[in-house]
Structure 1
């Protein structure tokens, strides 16, 4: 899933039992779709599909990361994405720079934004924005 891959899986090397009691036999495949997991109400609450950046903040407004086993975008455990921290840093730097210089609006405010699930996750038809320079 690293680098935006929206689904992933593994194959059982030996017979095993998952935490929920499901029995796997050697060679069974286990797959998960991170896109769907990020929108499951039993994981994230009834507002799971709402864009709520504040869900990542604690009561004091400080960033509170979720368990990598819950927010699976960069994998978890011994196979966690090596570029995760670099990716977070890049996103923060670019976001700060863009928001400092521009205000963004949807080019067509009536268009509903939907996703197109492929090997990597795309916005169906692209996300057309208007970047309006901020004046000082």
Structure 2
């Protein structure tokens, strides 16, 4: 990236309300330029990977998760009934969608069902991490610098040693504590949003968006799957449905 390009990209942008707007990439570049090291702190590779991650996380991940959610919603009528009741009860108390913050706090079972969907069908099926220095994994395996370690999130969500004997079942209840709140699971166990310094910054926003979409749809429509249609995962960068998900929809 040339100095001229840097200067051009670092120009502040003014919107219609005469407010200064700065994009995320510009913020990274500015902080990089303020470092005293010869090559900066982030470097072009880090900036490239960061921007690519934002594109991946912000584009298809949410829509793919919602597709798998409604597939599981249709396949599990008891769960669907509980979600509908929770949404209806929450909306009776707060019937103004503009005040979704209060509604959101009451959608515990729906939140749990989305987490369970992400456990079984993580929209990004594989995660890759690089090793900068020699290290030893908790398993005892030694890794050398520049070793690439790949995590299979699809398999992790179905591993008995991680999630128990019922790991293949769709059970939102596993996410709810005895106090009726969302049970915390370690990020290295529920790896969908990554962990440590690389934890997804948009996690809470994404879950809130999905709850809003689901609540709006089930308040207005009845969804029924087309039974003869085959639904299987197509494993690539994203865990899409190979043939899509066909449904019949009618207004409530």
Give the structure-1-normalised TM-score. Answer: 0.87
Native 8 Å contact 2:153 2:192 kept in 1: yes
- Which of 148, 151, 154 aligns to 1:29? It is 148
Structure index of larger Rg: 2
Shift of 1:27: 2.1
Shift of 1:115: 1.2
Higher strand share: 1
- Which of 63, 86, 96 aligns to 2:215? It is 96
Separation in 1, partners of 2:223, 2:160: 29
Separation in 2, partners of 1:112, 1:60: 39
Higher helix share: 2
Q: 1:111 to 1:50 in 2, by over 3 A?
A: farther
- Is 1:133 aligned to 2:237, yes or no? no
Higher relative contact order, chain-length normalized (CA < 8 Å, sep 6+): 1
Deviates more, 1:79-88 or 1:1-10: 1-10
Separation in 1, partners of 2:179, 2:188: 24
Which residue does 1:117 correspond to in 2?
235
Query: Matches of residues 1-136 of structure 1 in structure 2 within 5 Å?
Result: 2=57, 3=61, 4-108=123-227, 110-134=228-252
Separation in 1, partners of 2:166, 2:232: 17
Q: 1:132 to 1:63 in 2, by over 3 A?
A: farther
Shift of 1:81: 1.0
Separation in 1, partners of 2:182, 2:129: 31
What is the CA deviation profile of residues 23-73 of structure 1, one whole-angstrom value per residue up to 9, with x for unaligned ones?
111122211011111111111111212122222112343222322111111
Structure 1 SS opposite 2:250: strand
Shift of 1:111: 4.5
RMSD of equivalent CA atoms: 1.8
Separation in 2, partners of 1:45, 1:57: 16
What is the CA deviation profile of residues 87-122 of structure 1, one whole-angstrom value per residue up to 9, with x for unaligned ones?
0110111111111112222112x5453211111011
Shift of 1:132: 2.7
Stretches of structure 2 that go unaligned for 5 or more consecutive residues are 1-55, 62-122
Deviates more, 1:87-96 or 1:110-119: 110-119
Separation in 1, partners of 2:162, 2:175: 14
